[in-house]
Amino acid sequence: MTFSTHFKLFFRFYLNDDVNSNPYAVDSKAGTRPFRSLVFVLLLTSALLAGTASTPGAKDKNPITAEDLWNIKRVAAGDASPDGNYVVYPVTRYSIEENRSYTNLHLYHLDGQTERQFTSQNSDRQPAWSPDGRQIAFVSGRDGSPAQLYLIPVDGGEATRLTDLPVSVSAPKWFPDSRHIAFVAHVLPGYDGDFGALGQMIREQEENKVSAKVTENRIYRHWDRWLTDGRYPRIFKLNIETQEITDLMPGSRRYFAMMGSAEYDISPDGQEIAVSANSNPPPYEYLNYDIFLVPTDGGGELVNITEHNPANDLSPAYSPDGRTLFYRKQLRTDFYADRARLVFYNRESGDRNIIETVMHGEIDISPGSALWSANSREIYFTAQDRGKTSVFAYELRQDRVREIHRGGTNSGLTLAGDELVFVHRSLSHAPELYRISTNGRRLAKMTGYNDAIMSDVDLGRVENVTYKGANDADVQMFIVYPPDFDEDKEWPLLVQIHGGPHGIFGDDFHFRWNAQLFAAPGYVVALPNFHGSTSFGQEFAESIHGAHSELPYRDIIKATDFMVNKPYINPDRTAAAGGSYGGYMVSWIAGHTDRYQALINHAGVYNIMTQFGSDVTYHREAAYSGSPWEGLESMQEWNPALHAENFQTPMLIIHGELDYRVLLSNALEVYGVYKGKGLDARLVYYPDENHWILTPQNSIHWFGEFHDWLMRYVGAGPTE
């Protein structure tokens, strides 16, 4: 450990009178002043020795901290100017002291390779460049009002507010004439186009003293919000000269994407909008996203062009020549991670060219949303591929997929001339903008917002390995080593378990589950992509459906075996941690093995019966191979709650009140069981957080609790 790290540890220890949170206490009942004084002397001596051992003149680097993580700027995708010379994009910085974020737009000149901040009001995002190249529309919550639409000249000047609605607006897109802008807003259907009346309706809702929420729908809340207020999203058209706003979907009660921005596109002639929206009526047994065609004059009927498909149709995009509408298609209604098929819809004939399987090497990949090339001959997209998220092109005439860039995690593609601009990050690199030619040449880093911070932190080495998992299948795993790793010493092992379960531990600089930060105090961190993980083909992802814990548990144990067989891992200093589904596996592990010395369960499923009170329940029967009303015995076979008699390993349990995906009762139940059995457990509860810990100070506290728990039962750094 570095000199500063030693001092942090001994001050945290010596000034903390709570023996239950003291990482150096022998047990929860045995913290004494004599013992504390002895450890004080030892730590102080160690700190002084660490200081004198530093190389004279060497740059002092320290392991990354949670504070570093929140001081890193977060660059996001933006939009390119029509001539391809500029890119506008948002950059977010956080104030730990104020516990909030600030977002402004930045402008990058690709020819001159220069960057400058373009706005300064600290709440500006979602930029959209006008087709004539003269103006940029964006969304901002200035003056504390709901986010509204603004317009600013490219050559500078003050931004003009275009809307003054009682609700927030989002997802602006320009019409080809540069005189109209489309945007999305959530409205109460009874407002009848009168925004003044809408404001009054909202005020009446807010002032109503009756707090009851009433529903007969199966889907009645999502993530951290209730859907019982009656608001639905619609697309609107704004005339920037007259300020006239037209509701293009009057009477619509169709949900758009529940997470992220609305998925819609405007045709090159400006006469039509394609939007992905739910087609299933109340009580919403499940949401089925179809592609609807919306006339832009505000007077026509919506046309559903994917009514024949009972599963989701997503991400519509018109080709620049106007002949083709691209979208992504899934086939299964009981499997949210079903791979996407590419569909090219001929707007004149109605014919569909469906690419059933997109292959890259031996892996069938699932493309994300796509951009068209300027000549309408290919599309560019990102897709997960063997633990990474790479950039690809699909060539229509050759029916061929080609890889443009592999490595790390890449997102937010923007086409600027003959180059793609995107956000790139990896396990060892904070997010920055990069550019690459569409032919895959001339990859270049554009921005360096985080260079100063990253140059001062000492990151650990990353290794990409494959081991034999369940059924002798190849399982990929990343290993992140602590910064001062010495293979001649023995280190503690932390096995991480990702959520989903159909997700990945990717080559990604994650802000909530950062592998480098977990490794920093002195842990070797293993991140296995067990059965059920995406990016390794449909068959691998589907393999756990109906038996959620069987194959992943075997993979996790085999990953642990793989690691403890290394001479540098101490088998008596191991821990496992996971969030969401990963937390489910932590509870499963607690009931099936005592080989770990500590467990950490964030927002984890404990009792799968409880998950039928989750915000999304319509996949549960298939995922669990049963339900409380049919196939109960089969379902309960995979329920961690039924193995509580075997619990022994100390468990840290963390949860947020606003988590509607995995209900808080899961945490309270497993904590209650642990305490009822007299076992070591600690509950950390956040009344204002959801499934994720999203505010700076809560996040820093979260990482502190995480590391303190490991320190208490596993220790940090090499075995002395």
Nearest of 322, 327, 315, 305 to residue 269 by alpha carbon: 322
What is the structure's pLDDT at 42?
40
Q: What are phi and psi of 628, to 5 degrees?
A: -65, -20
Sign of CA dihedral 341, 335, 470, 510: positive
> Closest by alpha carbon to 511, among 423, 384, 386?
423
User: If residue 41 lies in a helix (H) or strand (E), which one and from where to where?
Assistant: helix 33-52
Taking residue 263's Cβ as centre, other Cβ atoms within 10 Å add up to 22
**Joined tokens for residue 501:** 């379960």
Residues of the chain with pLDDT under 70: 1-59
**Residue-wise pLDDT tens digits, 573-596:** 999 999 999 999 999 999 999 999
At 313 the three-state DSSP class reads strand
Tokens at 291, concatenated: 């592609």
State how far the Cα of 360 lies from the Cα of 362, in Å rounded to an integer.
Answer: 6
- For residue 359, give the 3-state DSSP assignment: strand
Burial letters 104-134, b for 16+ CB under 10 A, else e:
bbbbbebeeeebeebbeebbbbbbbbbbeee
CA distances from 715 to 597, 652, 720 (A): 10, 15, 11
Q: Sign (positive/negative) of CA torsion 458, 694, 73, 71?
A: negative
The answer to whether residues 110 and 416 touch, using CB atoms and an 8 Å cutoff, is yes
Do 128 and 78 meet the contact criterion of CB atoms below 8 Å apart? no
User: Which of these, 255, 234, 256, lies nearest to 245 by C-alpha position?
Assistant: 234
Query: For the range 249-253, what are the long-range contacts, defined as Cβ-Cβ under 8 Å and sequence gap of 24 or more?
Result: 249/294, 249/302, 250/193, 250/298, 251/189, 252/189, 252/277, 252/302, 253/189
Q: Which residue reads 């660059």 in tokens?
A: 75
Q: 368 to each of 33, 42, 382, 410, how far by Cα in Å?
A: 58, 54, 6, 11
Q: Cis omega before residue 176 (within 30°)? A: no
Do residues 115 and 75 touch, judged by C-beta distance below 8 A? no
User: What backbone torsions phi and psi does residue 380 show, to the nearest 5 degrees?
Assistant: -115, 140
Query: Is residue 704 classed exposed, middle or buried when 0-12, 13-18 and 19+ CB atoms within 10 A define those classes?
Result: middle
Pairing of strands 524-529, 474-480: antiparallel
Say which DSSP state 191 is in. G
The amino acid occupying position 54 is: S
The domains of the chain are located at 3-60, 462-713
- The DSSP output letter for 529 is E
| Contact between residue 196 and residue 202 where contact means Cβ atoms under 8 Å apart | no
Strand order in the sheet with 341-346: 313-318, 324-329, 341-346, 352-355
pLDDT at residue 720 in the model? 82
Per-residue pLDDT reduced to its tens digit, 659-703? 999 999 999 999 999 999 999 999 999 999 999 999 999 999 999
Task: Compute the distance between CA of residue 310 and CA of residue 193 in angstroms, rounded to an integer.
Answer: 32
Are 138 and 161 within 8 A, CB to CB?
no
End-to-end CA distance of the chain: 13
- In degrees, to the nearest 5, what angle opens at C-alpha 95 toward C-alphas 92 and 99? 110
Q: How far apart are CA 324 and CA 330, in angstroms?
A: 19
Q: What pLDDT, on a 0 to 100 scale, did the predictor assign at position 59?
A: 59
Environment class of 28 (CB within 10 Å of its CB; exposed 0-12, middle 13-18, buried 19+): middle
Q: Please provide the size of the chain in residues.
A: 720
User: What CA–CA distance (Å, rounded) separates 435 from 441?
Assistant: 10
* Torsion, CA 133, CA 138, CA 143, CA 148, rounded to 10: 120
Does the 462-713 domain belong in CATH 3.40.1110.10? no
**Does the predicted TM-score (pTM) go above 0.95?**
no
pLDDT of residue 32: 36
Taking only the tens place, the pLDDT of each residue in 661-670 is 999 999 999 9
Q: How far apart, in whole angstroms, are the C-alpha atoms of residue 220 and residue 208?
A: 20
pLDDT given at position 60: 84
CA distance 712 to 700: 18
Q: Give me the torsion for CA of 517, 518, 524, 529, rounded to 10°.
A: -110
Cα-Cα-Cα-Cα torsion 578, 579, 583, 585, nearest 10 degrees, comes to -60
Which residue bears the tokens 């490991």? 710
Give yes or no for a contact between 532 and 578, defined as CB atoms under 8 angstroms apart.
Answer: no
3 state DSSP class of 706? helix
CB 270 within 8 A of CB 294: no
| Angle of the 550-564 helix axis to the 581-590 helix axis, nearest 10 | 70
91: helix, coil or strand? strand
